[in-house]
Amino acid sequence: MNGHPTREEDFDLYALGALEGGEQQAIESHLASCADCARKLAEARGRVAMISFAAARVEPAAHVKELLLARVRAEGSGGVPARAVAPREADSGGGIFGRWWTAVLAPVGVALAIATILLWNQNERLNREMADLHATLITQQRNLEEARHAADLLAARDTIVVPLAPMPGMPNGIGRVTYNSKMGMLMYDGKVDPAPANKSYQLWLVPMKGDPINAGVFNPATDEISHWMMKMPEGITPKAFAVTLEPAGGMPHPTGPKVLAAAIS
């Protein structure tokens, strides 16, 4: 086998002993060098074990115990084995019909076990698909909510739009801040060259009074446009916005040089 088994149920079939010939040899050869598939086989064996424990216990017929004890006594005393003494009694508990039922029920039990495993795997796949759909729905709801906030921000009459200009000698870039003091909402859009190693860009709102307020840390890749919205304290009037170059992950207060900046007139 050159790659992983393409069917998840192959692990369950192998654990049940239902694979034969080339399929069995191929999966055994692959398991010897693949820890991930060995883990999946261990999980399959656990499922098979749980199914076996869930099966109802079948008590043997009373005559079976009697025959077994008679055989032990006869062999212990050097006598004739119990089956030679009472062949009819041994056959009376099942005979040809007992053997026939055993021949029929054994493969039926294996088939039921395989069907249970297949349904188990299908249920697991459905659960994963449902989880993926739920995650997609949450993302879509988040994007829709952000779009509504952006529409409200842009439609408000008291919203200001501040273009950010690049500073001399700094990485090339351009940006724009859309801000509404009453709503306490800020939106940034910009494009700037990737930050040097172990560095991050950080946007700051510089208020009329007090220290600069962190408005977002970002690390754009090549040709990537940065965009985000951030909730800010309401009622703060800015006098400037700036993007600085800071240690990776940002800082509580600006420490690096300005890359983009603009004062509000």
Token pair 């060098």 in the structure block, residue: 33
Q: What is the pTM of this model?
A: 0.51
Q: Residue 249 maps to which CATH number? A: 2.60.40
Task: Note whether 103 and 174 are same-domain residues.
Answer: no
Task: Note whether 124 and 27 are same-domain residues.
Answer: yes
Instruction: Report the SS3 class of residue 147.
Output: helix
Separation CA 11–CA 47 (nearest Å): 10
Q: What angle do CA 151, 156, 162 make, to 5 degrees?
A: 90
Separation CA 51–CA 114 (nearest Å): 10
Determine, yes or no, domain membership for 100. yes
Number of domains in the chain: 2
Contact (Cβ atoms closer than 8 angstroms) between residue 162 and residue 262: yes
Token pair 């008590």 in the structure block, residue: 59
List of E strands, 169-212: 173-180, 185-192, 199-207
Percentage with pLDDT > 70 across the chain: 69
Model confidence pLDDT, tens digit, residues 2-37: 566 657 677 777 776 766 777 777 877 777 778 888
For residue 182, CA distances in Å to 114, 157, 237 come to: 64, 11, 9
Task: Note whether 121 and 100 are same-domain residues.
Answer: yes
For the ranges 103-107, 140-144, 164-168, 228-232, which has the lowest average pLDDT? Answer: 103-107
Task: Note whether 179 and 250 are same-domain residues.
Answer: yes
- What torsion, rounded to 10 degrees, do the Cα atoms 218, 147, 181, 186 define? 10
